[in-house]
A and B are shown apart, each in its own frame.
Chain A
Amino acid sequence: AQSVTQPDIHITVSEGASLELRCNYSYGATPYLFWYVQSPGQGLQLLLKYFSGDTLVQGIKGFEAEFKRSQSSFNLRKPSVHWSDAAEYFCAVGAGGGADGLTFGKGTHLIIQP
């Protein structure tokens, strides 16, 4: 069975500092990996996705993520966070495109300190 672990429930980062959110997955085949962001009371917005090819993927809002098959990880990074980045971040794994049968992690709540 597929699963996603986001080990950090909360992370606090100072504005302007770098960010890394961790994601580990368990999946039997080649995974499709996603990072979504959810602002309070809002739906989910796709930040980036990995299907194949270059293991370092660039997303929107200055985010990037690196797929490491040997570590079963897909960590999200940003070199310099902004106060507007405060939100809930979800990592997800699936078998294909669209949103069929995605397995989500429990999320990491990002707090930005001034």
Chain B
Amino acid sequence: NAGVMQNPRHLVRRRGQEARLRCSPMKGHSHVYWYRQLPEEGLKFMVYLQKENIIDESGMPKERFSAEFPKEGPSILRIQQVVRGDSAAYFCASSPARDGNTEAFFGQGTRLTVV
């Protein structure tokens, strides 16, 4: 069973371009979470999705950022019109459920650099 797969591992975008980050959860996992890690900081929660539904987006910036988890295919975190401040590592995690004993598994992250 492969782990959580994120691609690309590294992404370079010019200011104003769009960035698309992909996350394929572990097999059997229908819950996906996105986190952002700024340099010298811990991870910050962005959004929690469960197949085709956004459950909690309390950590998502109000503009330019969106996330989806379609019925088929990976979860996508989309950043429109990127700015230098969007440069960070973006991590995805997945879990089969969300009860108290459920462990979430993290991917290796996508490191976005905006130039």
Question: Could you say which interface size class chain B belongs to?
Answer: 20 to 34
- Which of B6, B44, B98 is within 8 Å of A98, CB to CB? B98
Find the residue from A32, A44, A106 having the highest chain B CB count within 10 A.
A44
Measured in the bound complex, the distance between the Cα atoms of B91 and A43 in whole Å is 7
A98 touching B45 in the complex, CB below 8 Å, given contacts A43-B106, A45-B106, A106-B40: no
Cβ contact of B103, chosen from A43, A90, A97, A106, cutoff 8 A: A97
In the bound complex, CA of A32 to CA of B101 (Å): 10
Q: Mark A44-81, 1 if CB is under 8 A from B, else 0.
A: 11100101100000000000000000000000000000
Is A84 positioned at the interface, with any CB of B under 8 Å from its CB?
no
Contact B43 A46 (CB under 8 A): no
Give the residues in chain A near B63, CB-CB below 8 Å. Answer: none
Closest Cβ of chain B to A27, distance in Å, is 14
Interface centre among A32, A43, A49, A98 (most CB of B within 10 A): A98
Whether B107 pairs with A43 at a CB distance below 8 angstroms is yes
In the bound complex, do residue B91 and residue A44 qualify as a contact, i.e. CB atoms below 8 Å apart? yes
A48 to chain B, nearest CB (A): 10
Judging by beta carbons under 8 Å apart, are A97 and B4 in contact? Answer: no
Most buried by A among B40, B58, B106, B109: B106
Is there a chain A Cβ closer than 8 Å to B72's Cβ? Answer: no
Is the pair B100, A101 in contact by a Cβ cutoff of 8 Å? no
Pairwise interchain contact A97-B42, C-beta atoms closer than 8 A: no
Contacts of B33 in A (CB 8 A): 98-100
- In the assembled complex, B7 has its CB within 8 A of some CB on chain A: no
Cβ contact of B109, chosen from A43, A102, A104, A105, cutoff 8 A: A43
Show the binding face of B for A, using Cβ within 8 Å. 4, 6, 31, 33, 35, 40-45, 48, 55-56, 58-59, 91, 93, 95, 97-109
